[in-house]
Amino acid sequence: MRFWPGVWRRWALAVVFALASAAASGLGYARWTEPLAIELTELRKRAELADGIAAKMATMTSSERQQLDRLLGWNNR
């Protein structure tokens, strides 16, 4: 009978350590990747804007394109 309480205590301590270790690594991962997720969101917004501009430029008539070139100061010859 003296054997089992010691075994249970060791296993309980091992389970507590494993759960604490998993929680700490999860929090560390979330903290480490948060700035990357913010940057990715910003880059997606920029890519959507660039895609919208490219789509608009693809549908421009030649007179609209010449007007845009004049407004931007580009000389396309």
Q: Is the pTM of this model over 0.85?
A: no
Residue 9's domain spans which residues? 3-72
Q: For residue 66, is it within any domain?
A: yes
d(CA 55, CA 50): 9
CB 40 within 8 A of CB 32: no
CB 71 within 8 A of CB 63: no
Q: For residue 77, is it within any domain?
A: no
pLDDT digits (tens, 9 = 90+) for 17-74: 999 999 999 999 999 999 999 999 999 999 999 999 999 989 999 999 999 889 988 8
What average pLDDT score do residues 8-24 get? 96
Domain count, the chain: 1
d(CA 15, CA 10): 9
Q: For residue 53, is it within any domain?
A: yes
